[in-house]
Amino acid sequence: MGADHAAIVAQELPGATLQVVCDMDAARAKAVADRLGAADVATDPEAVIARTDVDAVIVASPDFTHASLSRACIAAGKRVLCEKPLSQQSAECLAVMQAEIAAGSRFVMLGFMRRFDQSYVEMKQALDQGRLGRALMMHNFHRNVETPNAEFTGAMAITNSAPHEFDVVRHVLGTEYIAISAHQPRRSDALVAPVVMVLETADGQLVTIEVNNNAAYGYDIRAELVGEAGSVSMTPVSYSRMDSRLSAATQYESDWRGRYHEAYVRQNRAFLRFVETGDFPAIGSGCWDGYCAALVAETGVKALQSGTRQPVTMIERPEFYK
């Protein structure tokens, strides 16, 4: 993701300059910097955040470093676009929130890029304009070709993949979750089986999420928002169709980077405007959203492991994030 973000900054973000590429592997940083024309390379992120020729930061490092690097950006007074998750621990998200509140201004935008995807934008519009009536249900399918490694578990499907749905669904519906249950069917092999979740919202809606990290056939994201007066569903995103030998075929992307390229560009442009103006993007996600996603994921893991419905108990939304 770091190299993808660097390419967007260098090639698709008029007004921004790719100044420093930082990676603990110096050769990898140099390869990206040379390819994209960055001014400098580095291996120490804290030192990069402190540099006077760096106005803003994109964090795309391993998940467990996100919270501390975001806090370093807040301390340096620099706006940061941090890849999801802010942290997998809700308590750590709260600590970043507190640092931001203490700094008195918004610094952290999170990389929940699906909010910028046209399909979800249209779903939210249809609901907000009253064309669907009251929302009743939102169904979601999240399928990856295969897990990144053999140690991937059902709990990781909830903490690593499902946060996209946790975030975008509460954004589209404009509500919070109050309970979650989670189940897995049995596979015939040792691969991790899909996780199927049912979430209840504070407004009495039901949300279903299937995360299948070993779907084998392609990267496939689907969603349908069902209201009392109509429904809106995502159509498969594909620029062409092959007709041949009595059949018609479209292709799947192999992962999210191609499927959501346009969303990443829109998101990063919104981040740039945030850096320039200080106004937090209307549809962007921030620390509060990171906390919500992490808390729901933690509760979802408990639901899966206990086989029981678990209440989602969130703190009250701080005034700063209203």
Select from 59-67, 158-166, 241-249, 275-283 the region that touches ligand ISE (CB under 6 A).
Answer: 158-166
- Answer whether 138's CB lies under 8 Å from 172's CB: yes
164 binds ligand ISE (CB under 6 A): yes
User: Burial code of 170-186, b = ≥16 C-beta within 10 A, e = fewer?
Assistant: bbbbebebebbbbeeee
Select from 12-20, 160-168, 273-281, 311-319 the region that touches ligand ISE (CB under 6 A).
Answer: 160-168
66 binds ligand ISE (CB under 6 A): no
Q: How far is the CB of 194 from ligand ISE (least distance, A)?
A: 13
- Answer whether 140's CB lies under 8 Å from 173's CB: no
- Give, as ranges, the residues between 126 and 145 that touch ligand ISE (CB under 6 A): 142, 144
Residue 51's CB: how many other CB atoms inside 10 A? 15
Q: How far is the CB of 160 from ligand ISE (least distance, A)?
A: 4
160 binds ligand ISE (CB under 6 A): yes
Element containing residue 305 per DSSP (H, E): helix 287-306
Distance, in Å, from the CA atom of 197 to the CA atom of 309, rounded to the nearest integer, reads: 10
5 binds ligand ISE (CB under 6 A): no
Q: How far is the CB of 133 from ligand ISE (least distance, A)?
A: 30
Q: How far is the CB of 3 from ligand ISE (least distance, A)?
A: 15
Quick check: helix, strand or coil at residue 312? coil
Quick check: helix, strand or coil at residue 43? coil
161 binds ligand ISE (CB under 6 A): yes
Q: How far is the CB of 48 from ligand ISE (least distance, A)?
A: 23
Distance, in Å, from the CA atom of 160 to the CA atom of 138, rounded to the nearest integer, reads: 20
Residue 140's CB: how many other CB atoms inside 10 A? 23
Q: How far is the CB of 249 from ligand ISE (least distance, A)?
A: 23
115 binds ligand ISE (CB under 6 A): no
**Listed residue (195, 155, 199) closest to 292, CA to CA:** 199
Q: How many CA atoms lie within 13 A of 226 on its CB side?
A: 9
256 binds ligand ISE (CB under 6 A): yes
For ligand ISE, give the closer residue by CB, 66 or 164.
164
Count of residues of this chain found to bind ligand ISE when the rule CB under 6 A is applied: 6
Distance, in Å, from the CA atom of 274 to the CA atom of 109, rounded to the nearest integer, reads: 9
Paired tokens of 304? 């899966």
264 binds ligand ISE (CB under 6 A): no
Q: How far is the CB of 220 from ligand ISE (least distance, A)?
A: 10
Residues in touch with ligand ISE (CB under 6 A): 142, 144, 160-161, 164, 256
